Amino acid sequence: MKSTFLLETLLFTLAAAGSCPYGHDDHKWQRPGPEDSRSPCPGLNVMANHGYLPRSGKNIDLAAARSAISGAFNYEPTTIDFMFQAALDFNLSTTGNSSTIHLSDLRWHDTIEFDGSLSRNDAYFGDNLHFNPEIWDTVAQAMNLYDAGPCGNETLVSVEVAARARAMRVKEAMRVNPAFNNSQGAMIGSPGTTALYLTTLWDDELEAVPKSWVRAFFEDERIPYIEGYRPPKTPRNATDIFEMNERVLAVEV
Ligand code: HEM
Ligand SMILES: *[C@@H]1O[C@H](CO)[C@@H](O)[C@H](O)[C@H]1NC(C)=O
Ligand SMILES: *[C@@H]1O[C@H](CO)[C@@H](O)[C@H](O)[C@H]1NC(C)=O
Ligand SMILES: *[C@@H]1O[C@H](CO)[C@@H](O)[C@H](O)[C@H]1NC(C)=O
Ligand SMILES: *[C@@H]1O[C@H](CO)[C@@H](O)[C@H](O)[C@H]1NC(C)=O
Ligand SMILES: *[C@@H]1O[C@H](CO)[C@@H](O)[C@H](O)[C@H]1NC(C)=O
């Protein structure tokens, strides 16, 4: 009797492990291939690298974008509709279907793409599409991403740290780029995209984002599962992003 119970418990445990409740099934990270399309947006690239968006990065419609943000980060599916719509409204699509985009369509300067990005160079210098290690390094250093501070306990990126690094990067871009476009899009978009990655990776208990998660997201364009990231239990939404944006803007820089 007792041994039957133990056996059942064992089988039940194995079955539960097999069903993998917090897993991500076939959404393994994979580097993009040479034919795959990628964007100046690390968020979209991350989702394509995990197959939440088509791994090709091509022919993406609103439905695909909605299911990606929901599946990858547990956002309310409609959270980023306005951004997708902006891409369509700027006529960025080169797919032959005005309802869909290839990820690289998003690179056109002074549409959604703007100067002073955290991880891309300005269009003036030639390549505003690909991750730029030198540019990112200035931001990473400003957030002290590769060290844990003198007491060894600074492992997190706070809103304050992220906001100051962002402001530093914009100031530096303004200094070195004679064509820096101080457009409304850039002035709203810069704090906005910082709010976007903070909201996306935010750890509610830590009230911050682990440095290792920020690195995985920008440097590998990877969801930091191995560093401990799990999607939030409750879906995040546009209000969460808006409130984070307010917090970013409130930091004295
Ligand atoms: C959860 C979803 C998303 C996240 C987490 C995200 C995150 C980010 C971040 C952090 C940046 C700044 C990159 C940098 O400064 O180096 C960025 C830039 C950008 N994003 Fe996204 N994004 C998301 C969805 C989207 C969508 C739906 C679109 C449009 C269809 C989009 C288009 C762009 C573009 C064009 C840029 C370049 C702006 C620039 O010049 O810096 N993103 N995104
Ligand atoms: C996009 O194309 C439509 C239809 O041709 C046009 O009415 C609109 O002004 C264009 N938008 C931009 C931002 O060029
Ligand atoms: C264009 O894309 C939309 C969205 O995926 C789809 O509903 C529509 O059928 C496509 N149109 C054509 C002509 O393929
Ligand atoms: C700056 O960007 C805006 C759009 O964001 C564009 O309309 C304007 O022409 C740009 N200005 C310059 C000087 O390129
Ligand atoms: C790290 O430890 C030092 C010394 O105990 C403390 O003063 C500091 O506030 C701590 N920093 C963080 C981020 O916990
Ligand atoms: C967005 O999420 C927050 C936090 O979970 C929640 O309080 C709020 O009601 C949500 N807002 C909308 C519009 O769904």
Mean pLDDT for back-to-back runs of 10 residues, the chain (253 residues)? 52 51 82 98 98 98 98 98 98 98 98 98 98 98 98 98 98 98 97 98 98 98 97 97 98 96
d(CA 106, CA 39): 6
Domain boundary among 94, 111, 128: 111
- For residue 95, the enclosing domain spans 35-111
135 and 71 in a common domain: no
173 and 73 in a common domain: no
Burial level of 202, CB count in 10 A (0-12/13-18/19+)? middle
Is the Cβ atom of 108 under 6 angstroms away from ligand 1?
no
Domain CATH number, residue 237: 1.10.489.10
- Of 153, 158, 159, the residue with max ligand 5 atoms within 8 A of its CB, to mutate for a pocket test, comes to 153
How many A from CA of 151 to the centre of ligand 1? 34
208 and 87 in a common domain: no
Domain boundary among 48, 77, 111: 111
Q: Hey, what are 196's tokens?
A: 């976007």
Could you write out the DSSP letters of every residue in the chain? -HHHHHHHHHHHHHHHHHH-TT--TT----PPPTT----S-HHHHHHHHTTSS-TT--SB-HHHHHHHHHHHH-B-TTTTHHHHHHHHHTT---SSSTT-B-GGGGG-BTTTB-SS-SSS--GGGS-SSS--HHHHHHHHHHTTTT---TTS---EE-HHHHHHHHHHHHHHHHHH-TT----HHHHHHHHHHHHHHHHHH-BTTTTBEEHHHHHIIIII----GGGT----SSPB-HHHHHHHHHHHHHS--
146 and 240 in a common domain: yes
User: Which atom in ligand 6 lies closest to the alpha carbon of residue 237?
Assistant: 1
How many A from CA of 103 to the centre of ligand 5? 42
Is the Cβ atom of 115 under 6 angstroms away from ligand 4?
no
User: Which atom in ligand 2 lies closest to the alpha carbon of residue 90?
Assistant: 13
Q: Which ligand is nearest to the CA of 91?
A: 2
